[in-house]
Structure 1
Amino acid sequence: MSSILKLLLATLPLVLAAPASNKRADGPTVVISKPDATVIGVSANNVDSFNGIPFALPPTGSNRLKPPRPIETSPEIIQATLPAKSCPQFTLSTDTSDLPTSIIAEVGNIPIFQAIKNSGEDCLTLNVRRPAGTKPDAKLPVLVWIYGGGFEQGSITTYDGAAFVASSVSLGMPVIYVAMNYRLGGFGFLPGAEVLEDGSANLGLLDQRLALEWVADNIAAFGGDPTKVTIWGESAGAISVFDQMALYDGDNTYNGSPLFRGGIMDSGCIASANPVDGVKGQAVYDTVVKNAGCDGATDTLACLRGLDYTKFLNAANSVPGILGYNSVAESYLPRPDGYLLTESPDQLAAKGKYASVPFIIGDQEDEGTIFALTQKNLTTTNDIVDYLQTLYFFDASRQQITDLVATYQDIQEDGSPFRTGTSNNWYPQFKRLSAILGDLSFTLTRRVFLNYALKAKPNVRFWSYLSSYNHSLPFLGTFHGSDILQLFFGIQPNYASKSIHAYYLSFVYEQDPNSRAGNYMDWPQWSNNQSLMNFFNDHGALLQDNFRQDTYEFLTANFASFHI
């Protein structure tokens, strides 16, 4: 892992940690009905916080690697005052051929160190934030956050939400904020034929869906309106937003009513993937089984369920992770299973098999830079073709991959960080690989999706953007995840954070980013003239969504070959 990426990973949690001061002596209480319980929270800085509310039975023991089960009965009182436990994390691979990171990973998975990070299997809980003193009859719109982290990392404790709620109050558009934990890595997205046959694929998506059902059942008690829910996510969370739109071929109803009425996708949408039981998925399962010592078992899945926590965690983390050489050629991600995701998300999008709700979608200008930091051995064009063919695209021919790479002809025009000429080239193919990984995973895939949406659902409104506020950052530019500090927390109170807060909250309230955005410039629907809102630190501008058009046209003609 590069020193730059290590620094980012080390400092972000410290910056994101939310202060907890000025607590009132008596915490706010809410009585919920499904299940019956009184939830006791804390209040600070004019925000009521309820932490770690269970929404499912613990996915432990025989419930490991099984769909989440709703809670029928619970304690009469839920003390929701302490930080919630995180789901098991996949930070570094425990693959013994990858030294010394495998040793670091093994140590990090020892329970005493996991306890420091407050991680464990019994993690299916959610947090609620609301303006202090909100009454049950307030009927405020609800914003449900789904965290990112490559389906390997992430926690609701990192994304506190209190600052965003405070911002919503100051802008006259108060909201209820909800964030749910969902299972990650091999705990939530283990692929393989055995998993598919067991009906236990894409468990993390089922966790998210059950949390949304909890919101439908209980958010009114907190002062929220269950008919005015918007789901919002970044990176894997944004991919999850589209997956929730596409689950069950677009059926987002529960007890006859929609679970959400809008979506916001920051840096992610359709993650095109081969099936759960495909070649890559089966290889991941077989590797986990072997490293778990279960390869001789008659029922390998039952063997995995019977392992102690640390042994299963190390086995699940023995495949390549996103913070390594394989980068976004992810081992764990939602894959078509024929039931929840009946086809690859790109195919569902093209056929209009997703919920007809308005949405906002956009990217950071340099999405791929942080994912191209560790491949310094790639010095030639053939090296990049080999890399993509070996680790990423099993269905694409070598000629197709070669032709794709050839569309990135000149790093002055096609290299990321974009608009920096020949500078910031960390190694000979860095800027080229950064552009390719960013475009295929996020930026141009977004344009493919928007054109699918325009054809499949022309009457559904949507808006798109590109953020360029970190343009001067060496090597990284406006990198993937840089919007978390700028947008989610609004740490820098500049034009970018202020305007996006106004646009997003207007969307949450009116399903239109312009209706309540005040004096900020009009943000046209993408369908009008395919324009993006381009966010800078001190202003916004409209940008035609036609950059790197040659690559886009190649992708649209060959998209089915580029499933991960």
Structure 2
Amino acid sequence: MPILASAMVAGLVHMRSKCASLQTLISDLASITYNQTINQTEFLSIRYAAPPIGNLRFQAPRKPDNIRHKGTIESNAFPPECFQASSGTQSTSPFINSSVVGESLTSTSQPGQSEDCLFLSIYVSGKLDPKKRMPVVVWIHGGGYVFGGSSTYSGNDLVSEAGGGIIAVVIQYRLGLFGFLSGSEVKKNGALNAGLLDQRFALEWIQENIHLFGGDPDKVTVWGESAGAGSIIQHMVAYDGYSHNKLFNNAITSSIYLPPQYNFDDPIPEKIFSDVVQLTGCKNSTDSFNCLTCVDTSTLEAANLAINNAGFFGTFTTIPVVDGSLIVEPPLQAVAKGKANAERYLAITNTFEGRIFVNSTFSAQMNIYIFIKQLFPTFNESQIQETAQQYTSIGLDSVDEQAVAIMGESIFICPTYEVLSAFSGHAHKGLYAVPPGNHADDLQHYFPDLIVAGTVIENDPFYNNTIFSASFDGGFLGFVKFDDPNKHTLPDSKLPEWEVYSEYGSKTEMLFNRTADFHPDIRPISTDSGLLDRCKFWKRLSPFVPH
């Protein structure tokens, strides 16, 4: 067991003051643990925003007036997670001539979850020394904007993989209906994309305060996986690409999740709002938004579960929208116009991003045309036919294989290549292909503690190879520390020269795989031309799939 020295520091006087001392910064919500075995210091459960409860529900995050928590968080404890939900589980989309759900709700209360969940955790290399200026990596978790939390991802892992010398920050943000309820009523009375605003508020907190932990606010890399990676693209294009304050320098995306992003008042977001109003008993209220603000937490939590569960299998219902302020147009359209705020970019995708989001039983009972219609309910017949033609002519025999390819390429893989194009000459691309190569399989390398906790999606087997891990992890953390994946410092790394990805030159990416006899297979490869052709198809279709 590691030797732990724990202490509680109390007395936050003014959390946001730039001249605040460390003691006035850290509240009694933050447990501070120095782990002598790995030479790292942890700060858990730091409140970065006021509890989004009562009149602050569905509103933009605000500075805490009084950070004292009602109750005590024990030493070395993580904060409660934001309320969780799941991806859709149904064989059909609720947005094709049907209601999302019926009128009844099953009230459930999930332990360890709360509306009061806007916390972050900080992991410092070595003992605390505010005089240092270490690079900072901020982890934004995935989970389809409906599940996830800071306790799943140990920033200690990232600090260790960097060989020390960095600070890792893991943030939480509102999820599901609590963070992504949309519609014209929310626009008029509250804050659209509240979960994204939470993330941005946390990034602003880091800019103002990370120097007190020995971090350099001018050297911040944001890193996200799945919806966390999709969030990063949202922040790249925030405020039409013109941000008054720089929140990060570099960006890493692992498996960008970028489903169709509708305008806040399009039929689907308005339908979701209407169904939430009905589910929560606010249908007959003269002020539906105020009713939702006042409805008890358990009712809204139950509606959150029901709304998301009612979605088509593998899709997520409560997601970001184009709000006209933070997000002015669909992100990929903004990226294509050069409205992307970051200096350098590193991206990785997995071989079969779509596999875990396709139900083989459902796909076996439908043809590919029906699948496409369920996945993209706003497509017309011509668009469905054209999409089917793309994927029935590339050697994929079964509907299941075609569905996996469509899901993976349209929502995860091709959006990544569009962002790479915008950063051509200032980007690196990786491909994680260790079998089975499913979505999120790479997480187990960034966060080995996931293996210990048994929380890896689908529990795919972990390729436990020292050289592979050092090469794979070292590239990412070299990018964090030195702006270059080639400047890795782990002694066991055998990472070859990782070429810059160029849209107009050599489209080269780094393959991370293993051989049949389990030796690392890490080498540069050319991006598959057939894949790039299909990505051009999705780009051409983008006005109808508003990423």
After TM superposition, the score normalised by the length of structure 2 is 0.84
1:313 aligns with 2:297: no
Match of 1:61 in 2: 54
The amino acid that maps onto 2:485 is P
Match of 1:406 in 2: 389
- Per the alignment, in what secondary structure is the counterpart of residue 43 of structure 2? strand
Flag the 1:134–1:468 CA change in 2: closer, same or farther, 3 A.
same
CA–CA separation in structure 2 for the residues paired with 1:497 and 1:25:
30
The amino acid that maps onto 1:508 is V
Match of 1:521 in 2: 496
The amino acid that maps onto 1:34 is M
Report 1:241-320 matches (<5 A): 241-254=232-245, 258-268=246-256, 270-320=258-308
The amino acid that maps onto 2:478 is S
- The percent of aligned pairs where both chains have the same amino acid is 28
Question: How far has the Cα of 1:140 moved from its partner?
Answer: 0.9
Question: How far has the Cα of 1:372 moved from its partner?
Answer: 0.5
CA–CA separation in structure 2 for the residues paired with 1:304 and 1:106:
15
Match of 2:130 in 1: 136
Report 1:107-506 matches (<5 A): 110-111=108-109, 114-115=110-111, 118-169=112-163, 173-254=164-245, 258-268=246-256, 270-321=258-309, 325-328=312-315, 330-373=316-359, 376-380=362-366, 383-394=367-378, 396-409=379-392, 415=396, 428-451=398-421, 453=422, 461-470=426-435, 477-489=436-448, 492-506=464-478
Match of 1:51 in 2: 44
Please tell me whether the aligned partners of residues 94 and 317 of structure 1 are also in contact (alpha carbons under 8 angstroms): no
CA–CA separation in structure 1 for the residues paired with 2:494 and 2:402:
39
| RMSD of aligned alpha carbons | 2.8
The amino acid that maps onto 2:429 is S
Question: How far has the Cα of 1:373 moved from its partner?
Answer: 2.1
Question: How far has the Cα of 1:309 moved from its partner?
Answer: 0.6
Please tell me whether the aligned partners of residues 320 and 331 of structure 1 are also in contact (alpha carbons under 8 angstroms): yes
Question: How far has the Cα of 1:494 moved from its partner?
Answer: 3.7
- Per the alignment, in what secondary structure is the counterpart of residue 362 of structure 1? strand
Is there any run of 5+ residues in structure 1 with no aligned partner, and where? Answer: 1-20, 416-421, 423-427, 471-476
Match of 1:535 in 2: 512
Please tell me whether the aligned partners of residues 428 and 501 of structure 2 are also in contact (alpha carbons under 8 angstroms): yes
CA–CA separation in structure 1 for the residues paired with 2:360 and 2:244:
43
CA–CA separation in structure 1 for the residues paired with 2:319 and 2:395:
28
The amino acid that maps onto 1:369 is R
CA–CA separation in structure 1 for the residues paired with 2:185 and 2:347:
35
CA–CA separation in structure 2 for the residues paired with 1:22 and 1:34:
31
The amino acid that maps onto 2:108 is I
Please tell me whether the aligned partners of residues 526 and 532 of structure 1 are also in contact (alpha carbons under 8 angstroms): yes
CA–CA separation in structure 2 for the residues paired with 1:203 and 1:253:
19
CA–CA separation in structure 2 for the residues paired with 1:31 and 1:264:
36
Question: How far has the Cα of 1:266 moved from its partner?
Answer: 0.3
CA–CA separation in structure 1 for the residues paired with 2:338 and 2:472:
28
CA–CA separation in structure 2 for the residues paired with 1:152 and 1:407:
31
CA–CA separation in structure 1 for the residues paired with 2:216 and 2:442:
28
Question: How far has the Cα of 1:195 moved from its partner?
Answer: 1.0
CA–CA separation in structure 1 for the residues paired with 2:473 and 2:400:
33
Please tell me whether the aligned partners of residues 414 and 548 of structure 1 are also in contact (alpha carbons under 8 angstroms): no
Match of 1:8 in 2: none
Match of 2:4 in 1: 24
Question: How far has the Cα of 1:106 moved from its partner?
Answer: 6.8
Flag the 1:559–1:26 CA change in 2: closer, same or farther, 3 A.
closer
After TM superposition, the score normalised by the length of structure 1 is 0.82
Match of 1:91 in 2: 86
Please tell me whether the aligned partners of residues 130 and 165 of structure 1 are also in contact (alpha carbons under 8 angstroms): yes
CA–CA separation in structure 1 for the residues paired with 2:45 and 2:329:
34
CA–CA separation in structure 1 for the residues paired with 2:467 and 2:359:
30
Match of 2:481 in 1: 509
Match of 2:526 in 1: 544
- Per the alignment, in what secondary structure is the counterpart of residue 429 of structure 2? strand
The amino acid that maps onto 2:372 is L
The amino acid that maps onto 1:110 is T
- Per the alignment, in what secondary structure is the counterpart of residue 141 of structure 1? strand
What does the per-residue CA deviation read over 1:104-159, in whole Å, with 9 as the maximum and x for residues that have no partner? Answer: x977x623xx12xx101000000111123131112111110000000011001111
Please tell me whether the aligned partners of residues 41 and 79 of structure 1 are also in contact (alpha carbons under 8 angstroms): no
CA–CA separation in structure 1 for the residues paired with 2:249 and 2:84:
31
Flag the 1:513–1:252 CA change in 2: closer, same or farther, 3 A.
farther
Question: How far has the Cα of 1:301 moved from its partner?
Answer: 0.9
- Per the alignment, in what secondary structure is the counterpart of residue 407 of structure 1? helix
Flag the 1:268–1:400 CA change in 2: closer, same or farther, 3 A.
same
Flag the 1:367–1:180 CA change in 2: closer, same or farther, 3 A.
same
CA–CA separation in structure 2 for the residues paired with 1:283 and 1:181:
27
Is there any run of 5+ residues in structure 2 with no aligned partner, and where? Answer: 17-23, 94-100, 452-463, 515-519
Match of 1:419 in 2: none
